[in-house]
Chain A
Amino acid sequence: MNEERRAAKGNFISNRFAVIVIAALFGASLAGWIATEIVPPDFPERGDFFREAWGGGAVKLVTALHLYDPFHSFWYRFALALFFAVLLLCIASRWRQLSLKSWRVPLPAASGDPGAKRLSFEFSWRLLESGDRAHKDPIVHFAERYGRAESIGADALRGYFSRVAAIFRKRGYRVVSHESAEGIAFAASAGRWRSPGTMLFHVGLLVITIGGVIGSYAGWREMVFVKEGSAVPFPRDASLTLRVDDFGIVTTERREIRSFVSTVSIVDARGKAVAFGNVEVNHPMKVGARRIYQSEFTIDENEFARARVEYSLSERGARGSLDLSPAEPVSIGDSTITITALRFIPDFRMGPEGAFSASSFPSNPALEIEVASGGEAERGWLFLYHKDFNKRFAAPVDLVLTRCEPVYYTGLEVSANPGAGVLLAGFAAATLGLLLMYACNPRIVKGFARPDGIVVAAGEHRWRTSFELEFAGLREAIRKEIGHEGGRS
Chain B
Amino acid sequence: MTSALDTRLFWFSFWTYLAAFLVFSVYAAVRKRGVGVTATSAFLAAFALHTAGLAARWIMTGHPPFSTMYEYAVTMSWAVALSFIVVMARFRRMVLGVVVSPVLLIVLVIASLLPKEASKQLMPALQSYWFYIHVTLAACAEGAFIVAAGAGIIYLIRRGAGAGEKDFLPSRDLLEEIISRSLRIGYPLFTIGALFAGAIWAQYAWGRFWSWDPKETGSLVLWLYYTLVLHQNVRGAWRGKTLAVLSIVGLAIAIVSFLGNLFFGGLHSYV
Contact = CB atoms under 8 A, between A and B. Distances in A.
Given A36-B212, A221-B207, A465-B177, A26 B121 contact: no
Contact of A430 (B181, B191, B201, B206): B191
B217 interface: yes
Interface in B147-178: 171, 173-174, 177
A464 B172 CA distance: 10
B196 A431 contact: yes
- Where chain B touches its partner, the secondary structure class is helix
B8 interface: no
- Chain B's interface size range is 35 or more
Contacts of A18: 231
Contacts of B119: 256
A295 interface: yes
A71 B224 contact: no
A65 B173 CA distance: 46
Contacts of A257: 121, 123-124
B205 A29 contact: no
B188 A29 contact: no
Nearest to A69: B212
A291 to B, nearest CB: 6
Secondary structure of the A side of the interface?
Answer: helix
A279 B120 CA distance: 23
A203 to B, nearest CB: 15
A212 B124 contact: no
Nearest to B131: A282
Given A256-B121, A284-B204, A420-B203, 14 more contacts: A19-B232, A26-B225, A259-B124, A259-B127, A282-B127, A282-B205, A417-B203, A423-B209, A424-B200, A430-B196, A431-B191, A465-B171, A465-B173, A466-B177
Contacts of B221: 26, 29-30, 33
Interface string B193-217: 0001001110111111110101001
Interface string A402-416: 000000000001010
Interface in B215-262: 217-218, 220-221, 224-225, 227-228, 231-232, 235
Contacts of A33: 214, 217-218, 221
In the complex, the 10 A-B pairs of residues with the closest C-beta atoms, listed nearest first: A256-B121, A26-B224, A281-B124, A293-B207, A434-B188, A463-B177, A282-B128, A33-B217, A427-B196, A438-B188
A343 B203 CA distance: 39
A25 B220 CA distance: 10
Contacts of A280: 124
